[in-house]
Protein backbone atom coordinates (compact mmCIF):
# COMPACT_ATOMS: atom_id res chain seq x y z
CA UNK A 1 0.00 0.00 0.00
CA UNK A 2 1.13 3.54 -0.69
CA UNK A 3 2.41 4.93 2.64
CA UNK A 4 1.83 8.53 1.55
CA UNK A 5 -1.89 8.08 0.96
CA UNK A 6 -3.92 5.25 2.48
CA UNK A 7 -6.46 5.62 -0.33
CA UNK A 8 -3.99 4.28 -2.90
CA UNK A 9 -2.57 0.79 -3.36
CA UNK A 10 1.13 0.06 -4.04
CA UNK A 11 0.59 0.74 -7.77
CA UNK A 12 -0.99 4.14 -7.11
CA UNK A 13 -4.54 3.00 -7.94
CA UNK A 14 -7.51 4.09 -5.87
CA UNK A 15 -8.25 1.46 -3.20
CA UNK A 16 -10.40 3.46 -0.75
CA UNK A 17 -12.35 6.65 -1.28
CA UNK A 18 -12.22 8.63 1.95
CA UNK A 19 -11.68 12.21 0.76
CA UNK A 20 -10.63 14.07 -2.35
CA UNK A 21 -7.65 15.48 -0.44
CA UNK A 22 -4.39 13.98 -1.64
CA UNK A 23 -5.84 12.52 -4.81
CA UNK A 24 -4.23 13.40 -8.11
CA UNK A 25 -6.22 14.88 -10.95
CA UNK A 26 -6.10 11.52 -12.78
CA UNK A 27 -7.90 9.85 -9.87
CA UNK A 28 -10.59 12.52 -9.83
CA UNK A 29 -10.95 12.34 -13.62
CA UNK A 30 -11.31 8.56 -13.38
CA UNK A 31 -14.05 8.88 -10.74
CA UNK A 32 -15.94 11.52 -12.74
CA UNK A 33 -15.57 9.66 -16.04
CA UNK A 34 -16.85 6.45 -14.45
CA UNK A 35 -19.77 8.32 -12.91
CA UNK A 36 -20.60 9.87 -16.29
CA UNK A 37 -20.85 6.42 -17.90
CA UNK A 38 -23.40 5.43 -15.25
CA UNK A 39 -25.68 8.46 -15.47
CA UNK A 40 -28.20 6.88 -17.81
CA UNK A 41 -28.72 3.64 -15.86
CA UNK A 42 -31.75 4.96 -13.97
CA UNK A 43 -33.44 5.85 -17.27
CA UNK A 44 -33.06 2.39 -18.80
CA UNK A 45 -35.83 -0.19 -18.87
CA UNK A 46 -33.55 -2.64 -17.03
CA UNK A 47 -31.74 -0.65 -14.37
CA UNK A 48 -28.94 -3.17 -13.79
CA UNK A 49 -25.30 -3.39 -14.81
CA UNK A 50 -23.02 -6.34 -14.00
CA UNK A 51 -20.20 -4.10 -12.71
CA UNK A 52 -20.26 -5.44 -9.12
CA UNK A 53 -21.75 -8.85 -9.81
CA UNK A 54 -20.44 -11.30 -7.21
CA UNK A 55 -19.35 -8.53 -4.81
CA UNK A 56 -20.81 -7.81 -1.38
CA UNK A 57 -21.19 -4.23 -0.21
CA UNK A 58 -21.87 -3.57 3.49
CA UNK A 59 -23.47 -0.27 4.44
CA UNK A 60 -22.17 0.64 7.92
CA UNK A 61 -24.19 3.63 9.00
CA UNK A 62 -23.35 4.54 12.58
CA UNK A 63 -25.58 7.59 12.36
CA UNK A 64 -29.04 7.93 10.91
CA UNK A 65 -29.29 8.92 7.28
CA UNK A 66 -32.14 7.50 5.27
CA UNK A 67 -31.40 9.39 2.04
CA UNK A 68 -27.65 8.65 1.94
CA UNK A 69 -27.99 5.00 2.99
CA UNK A 70 -30.74 4.25 0.51
CA UNK A 71 -28.84 6.04 -2.27
CA UNK A 72 -25.77 3.88 -1.67
CA UNK A 73 -27.92 0.76 -1.37
CA UNK A 74 -29.74 1.46 -4.62
CA UNK A 75 -26.51 2.28 -6.46
CA UNK A 76 -24.86 -0.97 -5.33
CA UNK A 77 -27.92 -3.00 -6.31
CA UNK A 78 -28.06 -1.33 -9.72
CA UNK A 79 -24.44 -2.41 -10.18
CA UNK A 80 -25.52 -5.99 -9.28
CA UNK A 81 -23.82 -6.16 -5.86
CA UNK A 82 -25.22 -8.06 -2.92
CA UNK A 83 -25.96 -5.46 -0.23
CA UNK A 84 -26.02 -5.79 3.54
CA UNK A 85 -27.37 -2.88 5.55
CA UNK A 86 -26.13 -3.13 9.11
CA UNK A 87 -28.48 -1.59 11.65
CA UNK A 88 -25.90 -0.32 14.11
CA UNK A 89 -28.55 0.73 16.64
CA UNK A 90 -29.52 -2.90 17.16
CA UNK A 91 -26.05 -4.38 16.62
CA UNK A 92 -23.59 -5.56 19.23
CA UNK A 93 -22.11 -2.07 19.39
CA UNK A 94 -25.15 -1.24 21.55
CA UNK A 95 -23.79 -3.83 24.02
CA UNK A 96 -20.29 -2.38 23.99
CA UNK A 97 -18.66 -4.08 20.99
CA UNK A 98 -15.88 -1.85 19.66
CA UNK A 99 -15.74 -0.49 16.13
CA UNK A 100 -12.80 -2.77 15.39
CA UNK A 101 -14.69 -5.80 16.76
CA UNK A 102 -17.61 -4.97 14.48
CA UNK A 103 -15.29 -4.66 11.47
CA UNK A 104 -13.59 -7.99 12.23
CA UNK A 105 -16.94 -9.80 12.53
CA UNK A 106 -18.19 -8.43 9.21
CA UNK A 107 -14.86 -9.11 7.48
CA UNK A 108 -15.33 -12.77 8.36
CA UNK A 109 -18.39 -12.77 6.06
CA UNK A 110 -16.11 -12.27 3.01
CA UNK A 111 -17.44 -8.84 2.04
CA UNK A 112 -15.73 -6.63 -0.53
CA UNK A 113 -16.60 -3.06 0.44
CA UNK A 114 -17.64 -1.05 3.47
CA UNK A 115 -19.63 2.13 2.91
CA UNK A 116 -19.14 4.03 6.17
CA UNK A 117 -21.06 6.90 7.69
CA UNK A 118 -19.97 7.81 11.17
CA UNK A 119 -20.31 10.96 13.28
CA UNK A 120 -16.68 10.75 14.39
CA UNK A 121 -14.30 12.39 11.97
CA UNK A 122 -11.72 9.88 10.82
CA UNK A 123 -13.79 6.74 11.48
CA UNK A 124 -13.74 5.67 7.82
CA UNK A 125 -9.97 6.22 7.69
CA UNK A 126 -9.55 4.19 10.89
CA UNK A 127 -11.50 1.36 9.28
CA UNK A 128 -9.44 1.65 6.09
CA UNK A 129 -6.26 1.25 8.14
CA UNK A 130 -7.56 -1.96 9.73
CA UNK A 131 -9.46 -3.87 7.03
CA UNK A 132 -8.12 -6.82 5.11
CA UNK A 133 -6.34 -5.88 1.86
CA UNK A 134 -9.19 -7.00 -0.42
CA UNK A 135 -11.80 -4.76 1.24
CA UNK A 136 -12.39 -1.23 -0.03
CA UNK A 137 -13.73 1.54 2.22
CA UNK A 138 -15.88 4.39 1.00
CA UNK A 139 -16.59 7.37 3.26
CA UNK A 140 -20.25 8.27 2.96
**Based on C-alpha coordinates, what's the Rg of the chain?**
15
Mean pLDDT, residues 3-30 taken together? 92
How high is the pLDDT of residue 92?
A: 67
Task: Select the more confidently predicted residue: 23 or 99.
Answer: 23
The answer to whether residue 129 scores a pLDDT higher than 70 is yes
Question: Could you say which DSSP state residue 56 is in?
Answer: E
The pLDDT score that the predictor gives to residue 93 is 66
**Residue 87 CA: distances (Å) to CA of 13, 57, 91, 94, 122:** 31, 14, 6, 10, 20
Q: Is the pLDDT of residue 101 over 80?
A: yes
Residues 6+ apart with CB under 8 A from 105: 92, 97
The confidence band for 91, taking pLDDT boundaries of 50, 70 and 90, is low
Region 25-54 average pLDDT: 94
In 8-109 the beta strands, taken as DSSP E runs, fall at 56-61, 82-87
Residue 99 is predicted with a pLDDT of 86
Measured in degrees and rounded to the nearest 5, phi and psi for residue 84 equal -120, 120
Nearest to 58 by CA among 82, 36, 39, 40: 82
What confidence category does residue 25 fall into, taking pLDDT thresholds of 50, 70 and 90?
very high
pLDDT beyond 60 at 3? no
CA diameter of the chain: 46
Compute the Cα dihedral for 2, 111, 119, 138 and give only its sign: positive
Residues 6/18, Cβ–Cβ less than 8 Å: yes
The band of 2, judged by pLDDT with boundaries at 50, 70 and 90, is: low
Strands 56-61 and 113-117: parallel
| Whether this model's pTM surpasses 0.85 | yes
Amino acid sequence: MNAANIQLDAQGRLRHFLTIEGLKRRHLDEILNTAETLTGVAERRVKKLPTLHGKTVVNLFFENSTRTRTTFELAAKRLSADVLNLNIGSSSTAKGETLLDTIRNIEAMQCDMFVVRHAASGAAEFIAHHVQPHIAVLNA
